[in-house]
Amino acid sequence: MSRAKNKYSLTVQQESFCNYYVFGEDGIAGNATQSYIKSYNVGKNTKDATINHMACELMKNPNITKRIEMFQQELSDIWLNDSLSETRRIKRELWDIVNNKDKNPNIAVPALRLLAQATPDFFKDNTIKTEQNINIKDAMQDLDILITEISKDDNVIRLFNKDKD
């Protein structure tokens, strides 16, 4: 009797194994033996050696390894998208601090510096064109001194840690 297979040439249990192996909770994800136990509803009387052997055999199946790789890529893409979204959110918050109409330079300057560090090509050359030319290297040294001073201020610390609360 043949078992039905999906478009990846996997049975329901094999597909479940791949899902558990990549997306399973702690102690299951990345653990072929535990993924096998979850997917195949292994009985309590089954020997550990048998379970380990069967899990290893599944990991040798090229259809299974290919499907696991697909799931791992999917997981990587999800993580990357979440990471990019978080980066965009932080940059927006920093811009809000910099552009606040009642901005406090003791807060806006470090926010601008963090924004510059997080944004490639923020400064395309070594000067900022303003009413006077500012040398970026000198300005960064001045900012380091300011940041050191304001980092001792509890209000500033609370501002940058507000999302952690």
- Read off the tokens for 28: 């299951």
Instruction: Give the architecture (CATH level 2) of 12-78.
Output: Orthogonal Bundle (1.10)
pTM value > 0.85: no
Cβ density class 97-123: b for 16+ within 10 Å, e for less: bbeeeeeeeebebbbbbbbbeeeeeee
The percentage of residues in the chain with a pLDDT greater than 70, rounded to a whole number, is 66
> Coil, strand or helix: which one is 6?
coil
Domain parsing of the chain, residue ranges = 12-78, 100-164
Q: Is a pLDDT exceeding 60 seen at residue 129? A: no
Question: Mean per-residue pLDDT for 124-139?
Answer: 58
The Cα 142–Cα 134 span in angstroms is 11
Q: Which residues contact 104 (CB under 8 A, 6 or more apart)?
A: none
Structural contact between residues 23 and 14, judged by C-beta atoms closer than 8 angstroms: no
Residue 1 pLDDT > 50: no
How large is the angle between the packed helices 105-118 and 136-150, nearest 10 degrees?
A: 120
Please state the rounded mean pLDDT for residues 31-54: 92
